[in-house]
């Protein structure tokens, strides 16, 4: 075990444990969307878990940074807040904020994060650049709306973890989305309807129809 | 290694070299005339294959005894197709812009008669008393060709040509040294990675050598994706063995038995020539099992990348080789300790690898003496854009941008004014005239906001709008972003939307501030090098050409008269000739008609701004002009 300080609080963590988990285990919340405990390597894609570490120049992502004895971590300096707010607003600006009609509303992690960060869901700072991919309604149990997806990778990881692997990525850049092999309907790619993806989806991109 | 084993290796190589030198000397001493045609991709694009076939046909038809050799890129891409003819008794002469017709003249007048057709010549390829030499051109005063030394002078598909010119000597030497000795030699040479970031090569090799896990791998990175950059391609097409030799040495040093050459599939000729070279090296015992009897085995396989720009990033490249999507992941772990199949992997740019044999053969000191103390050696640039002599150039580090553009490159084409130079591709930056005296090296370029990058250098003149240039490069990186991390996927898209608005006259001053803020967040928060550097063209143009941005947003004016929505075409009544109707006929949308005085007038509502009228207006009138903002066009009286 190593001892480190996060936001002035001395905490203990296993040697090599990532700072993110060390903080969460000790009741210190750091925003994150893509981190999966137990994944072999961190996805490090959402870029929300930035922290400042004394003695280090730039900001680092807490999900990739191993805890080291004596480390002093700050999770909400002005620099951290500014970058995290901007990255989060970028997600919102490309997310159809239509909570009234969303199956996930109430349990949505974007709503929770917005509250935590003190940011309005309908951000006005950036241009609204929403995507217009077709919605996959083919499966009896699962609804796939790639337009709501924030590409956190959790569904893909979970689906593969269960040995199914029905989900993957399609396209590059802004057109990047979750989808199926050959872009076939979800009902035709061996999805068993276990709903594990819907359970881990932070937003309403994958939702259980029941 | 025992002295005997060492001597055995040297003996095995000596046999190969004797044979190679014999063949090379026979070619040099041949009493027959020799024709060299540059048939790398740059030559082929300009028609080098037709020229080669014309020579072949005429030599066969006329039963002319001459030797036709295909060589790689000679570096004068502006004058392709290039041919060098060496006729006994004369210095070799280089010809540019050769067409099948010119080839025919060269055969009839030069080979059969004795007129060297100097009207087509660029110059003699060596100093002599008779014909001006191209070596007298200013570029040769600055150029130091190390990597490009053999490019265009040897047949890339002939192993003996490479060996006769010093090839594989370094590998032979390396097999007699310990890996640690070689790493020290590379470290002493000061070699820094030529892929762009400039990481010390010796240190990377040391880390990989020290990594305990096995097996280890070597990867040669030739996934060159920058628009306008073609150094890696030219090297693989012109002297592929130099890359293979560097990889074999790297393999010996870190203790790898397998190497992969990652070449993009859009480079079919580079792939073909690399594969030919690998086969030849295997047959000669320079690759494969028990190289030169040393007990060291190493083989190389070509891996074709599918053309994703992000796969030039090492972790994304490795992902794509493992059959996964080409997405980068967080470093550390660095590939040197945990790379391909989670094993220690040495991944270097092919230029870095091709420099290694030169360093071992000549000495670390020789390399360290070139260039500047912090960035020793030479830099290869693909000079493109509005410069007179486009092509591949190799200059010592520390050469200034001014020397490179105005001396080596011959200045700006068509008598225009220099405006900026875009260095390092889409990840690089645009430097203005005030930076021209900046010596080129890794650190100075980074400080100025640009970066060495892979070596693309696009020269821009007064007709280029810097906002549009920034938009163009960002459009590229935005499309090529893998989409894994939020700032790169969405931040660059937002930035692009702002830039598009600015070039269309819809931007505001608040947008400029937002653009800058976004650029800084994308740079700080992105996962890999692509995202971290994507804002560079925007940040440098904002830094050095802010007035252009402001003109766009406050006046709706594009100072370079380039942005389509912010310009209008106008016919100056005092210059328009009554009897001339050239523009009227050329206009595809019938927007131009004569008024009562037979002065031509453009109907702005119909005009699609194609610019054909400007082209068709005879130069003695030059009555058509572009104006910005469009409101400058006076109302028709």
**Residues of A with CB below 8 A from B504's CB?**
none
A128 in contact with B, Cβ within 8 Å: no
- Give residue B450's pLDDT: 86
Of B325, B485, B493, nearest to A129 by CB-CB distance is B493
HSE, side-chain direction, 13 A CA sphere, residue B326: 24
- Residue B278 has a pLDDT of 97
CATH topology of domain A90-208: Alpha-Beta Plaits (3.30.70)
Q: Does A91 touch chain B (CB under 8 A)?
A: yes
Chain B contact for A204 (CB, 8 A cutoff) = no
Domain spanning B467-555: CATH 1.20.1440.230:
yes
What residues of B are in contact with residue A65 (Cβ under 8 Å)?
A: none
The residue assigned the tokens 């000191």 is B365
Q: What is the mean pLDDT of each run of 10 residues along chain B (637 residues)?
A: 83 95 92 94 94 95 92 90 91 94 94 91 88 85 90 93 95 95 96 91 96 96 88 94 97 96 95 97 95 95 92 94 92 94 96 96 95 93 92 93 93 93 90 93 89 87 95 94 95 97 95 96 95 95 96 96 95 94 94 94 95 95 95 82
The CA distance from B417 to A87, in Å, is: 41
Q: Is A178 on the interface with B (CB under 8 A)?
A: no
The correct answer on CATH 3.40.50.300 for the domain covering B31-136 is no
Pick the CATH number of B567-632 from 2.60.40.290, 3.30.1330.10, 3.30.70.20, 3.40.366.30: 3.30.70.20
Do the Cβ atoms of B486 and A91 come within 8 Å? Answer: yes
Which among A58, A169, A174 has the least Cβ separation from residue B524?
A58
Cβ–Cβ pairs < 8 A, chains A and B: 99
3-state secondary structure chain A: CEEEEECCEEEEECCCCEHHHHHHHCCCCCCCCCCCCCCCCCCCCCCCCEEEECCCCCCEECCCCECCCCCEEECCCHHHHHHHHHHHHHHHHCCCCCHHHCCCCCCCHHHHHHHHHCCCCCCCCCCCCCCCCCCECCCCCEEECCCCCCCCCHHHHHHHHCCCCCCEEECCHHHCEEECHHHCCHHHCCCCCCCHHHHHCCCCCEEECC
Give DSSP secondary structure letters for B217-277: EEEEEE---STT--HHHHHHHH-HHHHHHHHHHHHHHHT-SEEEEEEETT-HHHHHHHHHH
Residue B334 C-alpha, separation from nearest chain A C-alpha, in angstroms: 13
Look at B483 and A90 and tell me if their CB atoms are within 8 Å: no
First vs last C-alpha separation in chain B: 93
Domain topology for B159-368: Rossmann fold (3.40.50)
Q: Which residues, 6 or more positions from B60, have their beta carbon under 8 angstroms from its beta carbon?
A: none
DSSP letters, B481-539, are: --S-SHIIIIIHHHHHHHHHHHHTT---HHHHHHHHHHHHHHHHH-SSHHHHHTTHHHH
Cβ distance B261 to B247 under 8 Å?
A: yes
Check: CB of residue A45 under 8 Å from CB of residue B486: yes
Task: Measure the CA–CA gap between B507 and B525, rounded to whole angstroms.
Answer: 25
Residue spans per domain, chain B: 31-136, 159-368, 378-464, 467-555, 567-632
As its CATH architecture, domain A2-76 has Roll (3.10)
Nearest Cβ partner of B494 from A47, A50, A93? A93
Chain B residues within an 8 Å CB radius of A169: 325, 483
Per-residue pLDDT, B425: 84
Nearest-neighbour CA in chain B from A185: distance (Å): 21
Burial of B182 (0-12, 13-18, 19+ CB in 10 A): buried
In this structure, the number of other CB atoms found within 10 A of the CB of residue B544 comes to: 20
**Residue B292, min C-alpha distance to chain A (Å):** 42
C-alpha distance from residue B436 to each of B370, B402, B404 (Å): 21, 5, 9
Q: A181 at the B interface (CB within 8 A)?
A: no
The CA distance from B411 to A207, in Å, is 61
CA–CA dist B502, B553 (Å, integer): 6
Classify domain B378-464 by CATH number. Answer: 3.10.20.600
Q: Do B483 and A46 touch (CB under 8 A)?
A: no
Same fold, B31-136 and B467-555: no
CB contact under 8 A, A129 and B494: yes
- Report residues of chain A scoring pLDDT below 50: none
Asked if the C-beta of B489 comes within 8 angstroms of chain A's C-beta atoms, the answer is yes
Q: What is the pLDDT of residue B637?
A: 56
Residue B229 pLDDT = 86
Cis peptide before B81 (omega within 30 of 0): yes
């Amino acid at each position: 075990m190593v001892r480190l300080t996060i936001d002035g609080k001395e905490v203990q963590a296993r040697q090599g444990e990532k700072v993110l988990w060390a903080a969460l285990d000790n009741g210190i919340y750091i925003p994150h969307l893509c981190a999966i405990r137990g994944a072999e390597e961190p996805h490090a894609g959402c870029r929300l878990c930035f922290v400042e570490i004394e003695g280090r120049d730039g900001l680092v992502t807490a999900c990739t940074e191993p805890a080291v004895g004596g480390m002093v971590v700050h999770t909400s300096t002005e620099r951290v807040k500014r970058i995290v707010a901007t990255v989060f607003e970028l997600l919102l600006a490309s997310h159809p904020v239509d909570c009234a009609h969303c199956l996930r509303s109430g349990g949505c992690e974007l709503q929770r994060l917005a509250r935590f960060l003190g940011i309005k869901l309908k951000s006005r700072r950036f241009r609204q650049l929403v995507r217009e991919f077709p919605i996959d309604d083919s499966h009896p149990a699962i609804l796939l709306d790639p337009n709501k997806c924030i590409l956190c990778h959790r569904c893909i990881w979970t689906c593969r973890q269960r040995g199914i692997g029905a989900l993957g990525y399609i396209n590059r850049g802004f057109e990047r989305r979750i989808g199926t092999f050959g872009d076939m309907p979800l009902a035709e790619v061996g999805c068993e309807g276990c709903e594990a993806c819907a359970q881990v989806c932070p937003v309403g991109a994958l939702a259980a129809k029941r | 290694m025992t002295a005997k084993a060492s001597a055995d290796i040297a003996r095995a190589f000596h046999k190969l070299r004797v044979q190679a030198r014999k063949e090379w000397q026979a070619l040099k001493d041949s009493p027959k005339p020799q024709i060299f045609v540059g048939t790398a991709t740059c030559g082929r694009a300009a028609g080098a294959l037709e020229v080669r076939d014309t020579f072949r046909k005429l030599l066969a038809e006329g039963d002319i005894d001459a030797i036709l050799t295909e060589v790689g890129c000679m570096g004068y891409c502006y004058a392709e197709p290039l041919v060098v003819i060496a006729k006994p008794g004369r210095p070799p002469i280089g010809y540019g812009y050769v067409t099948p017709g010119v080839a025919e003249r060269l055969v009839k007048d030069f080979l059969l008669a004795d007129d060297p057709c100097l009207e087509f010549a660029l110059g003699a390829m060596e100093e002599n008393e008779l014909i001006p030499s191209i070596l007298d051109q200013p570029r040769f005063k600055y150029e130091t060709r190390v990597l490009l030394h053999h490019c265009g002078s040897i047949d890339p598909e002939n192993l003996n040509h490479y060996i006769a010119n010093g090839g594989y000597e370094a590998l032979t030497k390396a097999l007699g040294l310990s890996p640690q000795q070689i790493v020290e030699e590379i470290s002493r040479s000061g070699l820094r990675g030529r892929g762009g970031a400039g990481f010390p090569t010796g240190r990377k090799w040391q880390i990989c050598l020290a990594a305990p896990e096995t097996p280890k791998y070597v990867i040669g990175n030739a996934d060159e994706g920058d628009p306008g950059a073609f150094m890696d391609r030219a090297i693989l097409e012109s002297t592929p063995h130099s890359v293979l030799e560097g990889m074999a040495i790297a393999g010996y040093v870190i203790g790898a038995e397998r190497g992969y050459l990652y070449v993009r599939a859009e480079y079919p000729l580079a792939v073909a020539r690399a594969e030919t070279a690998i086969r030849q090296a295997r047959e000669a015992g320079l690759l494969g099992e028990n190289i030169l009897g040393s007990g060291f085995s190493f083989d190389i396989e070509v891996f074709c990348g599918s053309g994703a720009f992000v796969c030039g990033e090492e972790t994304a490249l490795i992902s794509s080789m493992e059959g996964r999507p080409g997405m980068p992941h967080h470093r550390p772990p660095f590939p040197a300790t945990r790379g391909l199949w989670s094993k220690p992997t040495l991944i270097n740019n092919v230029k870095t690898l091709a420099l290694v044999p030169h360093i071992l053969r000549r000495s670390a000191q020789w390399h360290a003496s070139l260039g500047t103390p912090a960035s020793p050696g030479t830099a290869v640039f693909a000079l493109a854009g509005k410069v007179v002599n486009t092509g591949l150039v190799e200059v010592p580090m520390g050469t200034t941008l001014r020397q490179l553009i105005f001396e080596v490159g011959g200045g700006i084409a068509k008598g225009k004014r220099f405006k900026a130079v875009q260095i390092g591709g889409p990840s690089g930056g645009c430097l203005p005239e005030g930076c021209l005296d900046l010596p080129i090296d890794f650190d100075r370029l980074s400080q100025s906001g640009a970066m060495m990058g892979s070596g693309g250098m696009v020269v821009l003149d007064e007709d280029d709008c810097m906002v549009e240039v920034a938009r163009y490069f960002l459009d590229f990186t935005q499309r090529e972003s893998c989409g894994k991390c939020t700032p790169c996927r969405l931040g660059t898209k937002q930035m692009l939307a702002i830039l598009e608005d600015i070039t269309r006259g819809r931007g505001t001053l608040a947008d400029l501030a937002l653009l800058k803020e976004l650029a800084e967040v994308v740079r700080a928060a992105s996962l890999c090098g692509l995202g971290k550097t994507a804002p560079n063209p925007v940040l440098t143009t904002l830094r050095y050409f802010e007035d252009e941005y402001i003109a766009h947003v406050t006046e709706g004016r594009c100072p370079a008269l380039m942005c389509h929505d912010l310009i209008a075409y106008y016919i100056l009544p005092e210059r328009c000739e009554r009897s001339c109707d050239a523009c009227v006929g050329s206009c595809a949308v019938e927007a131009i008609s004569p008024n009562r005085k037979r002065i031509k007038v453009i109907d702005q509502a119909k005009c699609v701004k194609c610019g054909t009228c400007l082209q068709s207006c005879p130069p003695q009138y030059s009555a058509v002009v572009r104006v910005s903002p469009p409101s400058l066009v006076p109302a028709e009286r």
